Each structure stands twice: as structure tokens, then as C-alpha cells.
């Protein structure tokens, strides 16, 4: 009999990478069962998509109710009320004390693409500044903005014009906040006139780049620079949004608001939907027809998003994210003596990571990170690696994970880290 892996290799393009060879049969909250009946604890959550857990009953109920009404009309052809209502909710919830408007799309990459389109149209400028290590999608503009060559840019030819990269402030890797600001000032003196720059895009916590959080005060300084040159600030909250960092949006930690916010992943609770919310005058700049898409704001995704927002509020998931993250980081800290490869433990709320170097050195150890991942997988715990050097394990379990399952996962994690040293 042909194995699933053989079937996959014969049918699916090689460029679609797979972290595991688990073929899901069913899932519930923070657990997944494969086709052979093996159970796994999910510390990936579809890459921060099911923050509210697999198949949250209220999300399923909302989607089923929408299924009984209609599944698609294309909002640009025959609109529907719950699309409008979700836009109203996001306009109220996204940081920023000013009138806001929203559009919906399908993926995070689409949200970023539209944010760039809107910024360029409003400012009448083409330049965009992003950061090394950032991840903004796999479309041409998305991968141009992304600050990581392998595997996202290699071999795909010339990138989009007028995109400039800055070093991301991360003292662990020798870049201070002052260094990053100095690099921006140098960029404006040496390479691009700030009058040509429409926007600066930044993740409040880098996702694929390694879960590095923007340091205190940096976002305020970035806001000041944007204001001084009349540049828009775009917050990419695709991975940080919807309670993951202990706030509904990670920008709430920094005391400033972006002009445009992109979101996706956790918004739909497992269904594809993304959004761009920004200052009303900015969002209204493109002409009718300049924004949108056939599946943009699909009714099922919109219904799921309403339920997700209700669950986050009613179940106190922002506070729970803080508590879970504290427990995880405390457990990791207790492993430092037994696992000297640990060089850093970090992350706001429940958007946490542990970084590994070769013991006693400052040399990143992607091999050790991968050994931990594989040891955990053998024991039934799904983990993801990330980082420019591939030496970081990120933790993205559903925020709704039951305490008993969370404790079980922490035990497996400790066993796996110790076994990786053997």
C-alpha cells in the first residue's frame, strides 16, 4: 500500500514544506489525532490561527448557522450585514483614538498587500521600509518586505522596487534600539529621500524571525519619526493579534497606535479571513473597485470572527494568555541548569520562545532546536522552530488549552530538551 508520504510527494509540489508527517483526522481544543489514532498536543495552533482552540463550540455553532443561510455572494456584488458589523467591531477594537474603517481579505499576505496599496495611494509615494527578520507573506510584495532569504526569497528573482530594510532591534544579536534608529536615519540620508517613503511596516513581535519583541520605547520613537516625515506606520498584527500577547493587539503594549493594522490568523478561529483597519481618511483613499476580492470577507469567515471576538472577551483569554505564558517561562527557566544550550527565554503573553546556542558559546544551534522538536514529536507534542538561524522554538498553543493538557505538554517539553542533549 502506498504511504501517505509517498502520495503527498507524488501529488504536491516540493515547495509546500511540511513540519511533520502527521495527517490530521480530527482535532479538539489543543489536541490532534492522526489517521492512525495517535494523539498529539498541539503547540502550533496552525501557526497562531486557532488561539481559541480547534473547533471551539461557539465558533462551530456560528459557522453552522451561517451555512444554513448562505456561503457566498461576494460582498462587492450582494453585501451582507455581518461583514459591516465585523468592520464596526474592529474599528472600535483596533488601537487608535480616531475614526477608522476596515476592509476584509482572505490571508495575511493579502492584508499586507492591501495595506501597502492603501499607504502608497494615500501618500502618493512608493517607498516602504521594513525590518530584517520580519515576515510579511509569500506573495511578491510580501516576500520583498520579508527580511529572510531562505526559504522565502531564494530563487524567485528580482524583488519589488522601493522596499528598504532596517536591522531589527535585538540586543541578544548585537542590535540595540539606538542602532536601529541610527540605521533609519542613515537610510534617509544615504539611500532614500523620506519624502519618497509611504510607510514603515513592523511586527510588534517578530514571528518567523524569532519571536523578538520590539523593545520598550522603540515603537514610540518610530511613531515620532513617522510623524516628523509624514510617513504612515503599519503594524503587522497577523501573528500577534487576538489575545496572543496578553492584549487583543500587541500594539497596546507600546502606548502608540499605527495608522494601519493588518490582521488574519487568529481572527477566524480556523477559517480563512484577514482584515486591514486604519485611519478613515487613509482607508478611503483608493477608488471604488481598487480594493476587494472574490472571497474577501467570506460569510463563513466573518461569522467565525464574530464568535472568536466573543470568546476572547467572555472567556478572558487575554488574562489567560498572560498566566499561561508565565507558567511556561517559569518552567523553561527551571531547565537552564540541565540544558545549558538555553540562551534566552522570552515573549509577551502566550507568544513565547526559547533560543538555543551551542553550550557556553554565542553560536546559534539550529541542530539542537530541531532535536528538541523531533524528540517532542516522538512523545506526542507538536512544536515549531523559527528564527533567522533556525535556533528558536516558538510556543503557540491554543490559549484555551486545558490546564491538565498544558501540564502534560510541559512535562514532555522538559523530557525532550533533556533527551536532545543525550
| pLDDT above 80 for 23 | yes
CA distance 239 to 44: 12
| pLDDT above 80 for 1 | no
Among 21-25, 43-47, 57-61, 330-334, the range scoring the smallest mean pLDDT is: 21-25
| pLDDT above 80 for 386 | yes
* pLDDT band at residue 193 using 50, 70 and 90 as cut-offs: very high
User: What mean pLDDT is predicted for residues 5-21?
Assistant: 88
* pLDDT band at residue 2 using 50, 70 and 90 as cut-offs: confident
Percent of the chain with pLDDT over 70: 100
Name all domains of the chain by residue range, CATH numbers in brackets. Answer: 4-55+316-419 (3.90.1150.10), 60-314 (3.40.640.10)
| pLDDT above 90 for 417 | yes
For 130-169, what is each residue's pLDDT tens digit? 999 999 999 999 999 999 998 899 999 999 999 999 999 9
The length of the chain is: 422
pLDDT at 20: 87
pLDDT at 17: 85
Mean residue pLDDT across the chain: 96
CA distance 195 to 211: 31
User: What mean pLDDT is predicted for residues 101-119?
Assistant: 98
Distance (Å) of CA 63 to CA 45, 56, 105, 315: 19, 11, 18, 19
* pLDDT band at residue 191 using 50, 70 and 90 as cut-offs: very high
* pLDDT band at residue 356 using 50, 70 and 90 as cut-offs: very high
| pLDDT above 80 for 12 | yes
For 242-274, what is each residue's pLDDT tens digit? 999 999 999 999 999 999 999 999 999 999 999
Parallel, antiparallel, or unpaired: how do β-strands 39-42 and 381-382 relate? parallel
pLDDT at 175: 96
Global confidence as pTM: 0.96
User: What mean pLDDT is predicted for residues 90-94?
Assistant: 98
pLDDT at 122: 98
User: What mean pLDDT is predicted for residues 23-47?
Assistant: 96
Residue pair 248/237 in contact (Cβ under 8 Å)? The answer is no
pLDDT at 190: 97
pLDDT at 5: 87
User: What mean pLDDT is predicted for residues 93-120?
Assistant: 98
For 270-291, what is each residue's pLDDT tens digit? 999 999 999 999 999 999 999 9
Amino acid at each position: 500500500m502506498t504511504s501517505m508520504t509517498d502520495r503527498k510527494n507524488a501529488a504536491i509540489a516540493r515547495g509546500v514544506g511540511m513540519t511533520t508527517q502527521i495527517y490530521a483526522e480530527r482535532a479538539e481544543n489543543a489536541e490532534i489525532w492522526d489517521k492512525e489514532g495517535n494523539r498529539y498536543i498541539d503547540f502550533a495552533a496552525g501557526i497562531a490561527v486557532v488561539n481559541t482552540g480547534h473547533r471551539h463550540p461557539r465558533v462551530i455553532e456560528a459557522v453552522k448557522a451561517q451555512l444554513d443561510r448562505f456561503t457566498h455572494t461576494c460582498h462587492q456584488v450582494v453585501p451582507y450585514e455581518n461583514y459591516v458589523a465585523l468592520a464596526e467591531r474592529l474599528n472600535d477594537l483596533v488601537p487608535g483614538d480616531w475614526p477608522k474603517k476596515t476592509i476584509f481579505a482572505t490571508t495575511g499576505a493579502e492584508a499586507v498587500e492591501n495595506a501597502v496599496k492603501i499607504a502608497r495611494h494615500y501618500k502618493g509615494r512608493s517607498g516602504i521600509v521594513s525590518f530584517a527578520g520580519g515576515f510579511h507573506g509569500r506573495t511578491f510584495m510580501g516576500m520583498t518586505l520579508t527580511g529572510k532569504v531562505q526559504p522565502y526569497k531564494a530563487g524567485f528573482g528580482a524583488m519589488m522596487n522601493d522596499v528598504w530594510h532596517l536591522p531589527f532591534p535585538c540586543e541578544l544579536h548585537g542590535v540595540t534600539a539606538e542602532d536601529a534608529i541610527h540605521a533609519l536615519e542613515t537610510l534617509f540620508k544615504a539611500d532614500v529621500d523620506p519624502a519618497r517613503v509611504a510607510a514603515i511596516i513592523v511586527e510588534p513581535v517578530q514571528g518567523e524571525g524569532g519571536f523578538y519583541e520590539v523593545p520598550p520605547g522603540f515603537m514610540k520613537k518610530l511613531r515620532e519619526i513617522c510623524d516628523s516625515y509624514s510617513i504612515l506606520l503599519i503594524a503587522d498584527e497577523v501573528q500577534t493579534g487576538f489575545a496572543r500577547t496578553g492584549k487583543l493587539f500587541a500594539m497596546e503594549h507600546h502606548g502608540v497606535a499605527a495608522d494601519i493594522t493588518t490582521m488574519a490568523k487568529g481572527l477566524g478561529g480556523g477559517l480563512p479571513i484577514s482584515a486591514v483597519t486604519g485611519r478613515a481618511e487613509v482607508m478611503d483613499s483608493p477608488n471604488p473597485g481598487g480594493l476587494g476580492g472574490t472571497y474577501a470577507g467570506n460569510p463563513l469567515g466573518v461569522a467565525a470572527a464574530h464568535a472568536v471576538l466573543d470568546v476572547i472577551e467572555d472567556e478572558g483569554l487575554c488574562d489567560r494568555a498572560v498566566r499561561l505564558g508565565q507558567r511556561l517561562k517559569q518552567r523553561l527557566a527551571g531547565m537552564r541548569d540541565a540544558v545549558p544550550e538555553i540562551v534566552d527565554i522570552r515573549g509577551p503573553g502566550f507568544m513565547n520562545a526559547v533560543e538555543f546556542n551551542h553550550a557556553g558559546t554565542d553560536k546559534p544551534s539550529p541542530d539542537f532546536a530541531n532535536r528538541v522538536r523531533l524528540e517532542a514529536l516522538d512523545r506526542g507534542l507538536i512544536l515549531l522552530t523559527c528564527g533567522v538561524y533556525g535556533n528558536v522554538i516558538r510556543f503557540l498553543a491554543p490559549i484555551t488549552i486545558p490546564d491538565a493538557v498544558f501540564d502534560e505538554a510541559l512535562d514532555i517539553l522538559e523530557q525532550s530538551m533533556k533527551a536532545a542533549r543525550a
